[in-house]
Amino acid sequence: MPVYSEKVMEHFMNPRNVGEIENPDGVGEVGNPVCGDMMTFYIKVKDNRLEDIKFKTFGCGAAIAVSSMVSEMAKGKTLDEAMKITPRAVADELKGLPKQKFHCSNLGAQALNKAIKDYLDKKKGGGKK
What pTM was estimated for this model as a whole?
Answer: 0.92
For residue 9, pLDDT beyond 70? yes
Catalytic residue among 73, 104, 107, 111: 104
* C-alpha count within 13 angstroms, C-beta hemisphere, residue 37: 24
SS3 95: coil
Is 60 catalytic? The answer is no
Burial class (CB in 10 A: 0-12, 13-18, 19+), 124: exposed
User: Under CATH, which architecture does the 6-122 domain have?
Assistant: Alpha-Beta Complex (3.90)
Catalytic residue among 7, 27, 32, 35: 35
The closest of 43, 40, 28, 46 to 74, measured between CA atoms, is 43
- Convert the pLDDT of each residue in 25-66 to its tens digit: 999 999 977 778 999 999 999 999 999 999 999 998 999 999
User: Is residue 104 annotated as part of the catalytic site, yes or no?
Assistant: yes
Within 13 Å and on the Cβ side, how many CA atoms surround 32?
18
